[in-house]
Structure 1
Amino acid sequence: MDVANNTTSPERSPEGESGHGLAEVTLGYQLLTSLLLGTLILCAVSGNACVIAAIALERSLQTVANYLIGSLAVTDLMVSVLVLPMAALYQVLNKWTLGQVICDIFISLDVLCCTSSILHLCAIALDRYWAITDPIDYVNKRTPRRAAVLISLTWLIGFLISIPPMLGWRTPEDRSNPDACTISKDHGYTIYSTFGAFYIPLLLMLVLYGRIFKAARFRIRKTVKKAEKKKIADTCLTLSPAALQKKSNGEPGKGWRRTVESRSGACVNGAVRQGEDGAALEVIEVQRCSSSSKTHLPLPSEACGSPPPPSFERRNEKNTEAKRRMALSRERKTVKTLGIIMGTFILCWLPFFIVALVLPFCDRNCCLFPHRMVWNTSEGLCVDPQT
């Protein structure tokens, strides 16, 4: 989770000022903040470690799609171990105490890992989009090599966004306060980093998941229509007395013939055999025919002498209705899943990136609280909908 918010200097506080304009904090604040942030970090570490262990140990989970999820968990675990502890220390003390070199490393790791984490979500969305829109061809294209390429691209883009400040793309004021560790407030870099790390990926994910939803809904409804086309209309199969037949011993016997009545031009035709006890009917063969007239088929001589079995009807309305309900249920589940994914992603990341984009342009004229606001995004590591 991005904690670059902690790289913005906490220059205002109602608790008083000291030193270079940084606020003094009370012991109660430090204890409460330490407890809260420590819990979030533990949740992030344990949650992502469990995902990694499950994929590494369970052979059935070692698929290309899960490789992307596992890589996302590794990235989030790096944030939890390498970035969040230093950010928590900065938050608790309300000043930076680790020196300028560590500050530069901290900011670079923060931007690199968090950008890569967001882009992993885009890679997963892209993989799902290909899988659902081109399921036949993508089976052969969905290889570990393709997953490795997508993962490499996420880290490459993260590197291209995180490294410029270390090469000088920053303002002189960024290092003016030794007690503050701030990300570059250069206006050009702010636009470059926020759009590259969040706003463009967010737009891409909205488009991809929108198309995934449309494709999934189309396939679900197509399945229902296909089932309806194959539906056999109300068809009544009736066994009625046939002409008297001679048994093998020469005695007259009563046979039965089957009458197939089709109410909509489609019928089921086949031979029916009655057991010796006259209790059971067995359909030996079923095939479709186009005749709309009654068809009389003589039964084998074994059926002679038995009482006529009852008429029976074969209907498909109940099956079709059940399929409709299942399709609607699957569609609702798809909407719910996509809503959870995008809703959690936006809730976790949007607050920080609004602050990150606006703050450098309004400087001290804006009443924003980036420290408190952006730490909410840390929860995204614990409730990542993809993992």
Structure 2
Amino acid sequence: DLPFSHNIELQSCTTVRNQVSRIFLYAFLSVGIACTVVGNFLVVLSIAYFKQLQSPTNSFVMSLAVADCLVGLVVMPYSMIRTVEGCWYFGALFCQLHSSLDVMLCTASIFHLSCIAFDRYYAVCNPLVYSLKMSRSRVALLIVVCWAVPMLISFGPIMLDLHIAGVDILLPKDVCVFLVNRIYAVMASMVAFYLPMAIMLVAYWKIFKAAKRQAKQISAMESQMAAGVGKDSSKKQRHRNTMRRERKAAKTLGIIMGVFLIFWMPFFTVNIVDPFIEYSTEVVVWDIFLWLGYINSSLNPFLYGFFNRSFRRAFLMFIGCRCKLHLQRCLKQLLLLAKPQ
């Protein structure tokens, strides 16, 4: 879990849900986990196999999909059991490891979204310096930062128990609750969410203003073209199509960021407040907000598939191969299609 605390009682855990509600929750949450893993895995495969999808922006998208896929594989299943059963069956050491992975992977996902916004800012607002600012080496460096910083703020403090310094609450072995002190709650939330959120908001605001200016340029260009077709009209048409594609990409990524804010803002807001109100937030509130954040990891691939034609075609091709062909034959076909003509 990301920095996170409950109103804790010292008694051992007890399962309060009846069998019907537990079966329903397992089924519902399992569908969410499956969508997270499969959807993000399709994104990774699509970018890996199709060269036309291999761009600086999609390098961040691919790394983001890896982080979200790992959330579905190694974090959500154990959180599901804890949420449904109300107990932790995997020991104290694995509780620490699970919490560390949760913090690291969710924070890495957020960092990647801020890098995508940063990349789109240069592509739309400063296209002449884009290739210089987003070179392969710089993109690789940013991706390393997106993984290294979350690892530092998760495994270090959590495995050394620095996040609970000054918190005098003893938990039974069959309860896995990520209690944090006030300093860690504020600092980790600022690094993991609020600072990346500020970067994204500033970047997309500037992209929005640039898109408005480009729309005016396109309108003026169309007026000139309506008066008569010049000898360089085809060049104007290509320029117009390029600007429209950039605006569409910025809009798509803006929607992705907006969905991210809606799903993660409640968790991080309560996360900072809870240590200052003596950990009095109800368990059910934490579970709802935490799973809203997890669901965000399952939504990004569907947003890409819905808004991006190239991703949509790649998704359909992979799904079609899965339904009609043996896996080995499908992979051979995709490799052939990925080669440049």
TM-score in terms of structure 2 length = 0.76
1:87 and 2:87 correspond: no
1:373 and 2:289 correspond: yes
Q: Give the structure with the higher percent strand.
A: 1
Whole-Å separation in 1 of the counterparts to 2:277 and 2:113: 31
Q: In 2 relative to 1, CA 213–339 (structure 1 residues): closer, same or farther, beyond 3 Å?
A: same
1:44 and 2:8 correspond: no
User: Which residue number corresponds to residue 201 of structure 1?
Assistant: 196
Q: Is there any run of 5+ residues in structure 2 with no aligned partner, and where?
A: 232-240, 306-341
Q: In 2 relative to 1, CA 356–378 (structure 1 residues): closer, same or farther, beyond 3 Å?
A: same
User: Which residue number corresponds to residue 305 of structure 1?
Assistant: none
Preserved CA contact (<8 Å) 1:184 1:190: no
RMSD in angstroms over aligned alpha carbons? 3.4
Whole-Å separation in 2 of the counterparts to 1:356 and 1:63: 36
User: Which residue number corresponds to residue 168 of structure 1?
Assistant: 161
> How many residues get paired?
295
User: Which residue number corresponds to residue 121 of structure 1?
Assistant: 113
Whole-Å separation in 2 of the counterparts to 1:19 and 1:166: 24
1:337 and 2:330 correspond: no
Q: In 2 relative to 1, CA 141–50 (structure 1 residues): closer, same or farther, beyond 3 Å?
A: same
Preserved CA contact (<8 Å) 2:5 2:179: no
Moved more, 64-73 or 172-181: 172-181
Tell me the CA shift for residue 183 of structure 1: 2.0
1:350 maps to a residue whose letter is M
Preserved CA contact (<8 Å) 1:359 1:366: yes
1:344 maps to a residue whose letter is V
Q: Is there any run of 5+ residues in structure 1 with no aligned partner, and where?
A: 13-17, 234-267, 269-285, 288-325
Moved more, 43-52 or 369-378: 369-378
Whole-Å separation in 2 of the counterparts to 1:336 and 1:129: 12
Preserved CA contact (<8 Å) 1:10 1:23: no
Q: Give the structure with the higher percent helix.
A: 2
Q: In 2 relative to 1, CA 23–81 (structure 1 residues): closer, same or farther, beyond 3 Å?
A: same
Tell me the CA shift for residue 143 of structure 1: 2.4
Preserved CA contact (<8 Å) 1:10 1:94: no
Q: In 2 relative to 1, CA 93–4 (structure 1 residues): closer, same or farther, beyond 3 Å?
A: farther
Moved more, 97-106 or 18-27: 18-27
Moved more, 136-145 or 157-166: 136-145
Q: Deviations over 1:199-247 (max 9, x none)?
A: 11111111111111111211221233355467759xxxxxxxxxxxxxx
Instruction: State, as a whole percentage, how many aligned pairs show the same letter.
Output: 32
**Aligned pairs (5 A) from 1:205-284:** 205-228=200-223, 232=227
User: Which residue number corresponds to residue 154 of structure 1?
Assistant: 146
User: Which residue number corresponds to residue 298 of structure 2?
Assistant: 382
Q: Deviations over 1:118-147 (max 9, x none)?
A: 000000000010111111221244322121
2:180 maps to a residue whose letter is K
1:361 and 2:276 correspond: yes
Preserved CA contact (<8 Å) 1:174 1:183: no
Whole-Å separation in 2 of the counterparts to 1:43 and 1:332: 29
Q: Deviations over 1:146-192 (max 9, x none)?
A: 21111111112202221213223114445533222222421000001
User: Which residue number corresponds to residue 313 of structure 1?
Assistant: none
Preserved CA contact (<8 Å) 2:125 2:207: yes
- Larger RCO, structures 1/2 (Cα 8 Å, 6+ apart): 2
Q: In 2 relative to 1, CA 48–101 (structure 1 residues): closer, same or farther, beyond 3 Å?
A: same
Whole-Å separation in 1 of the counterparts to 2:127 and 2:110: 25
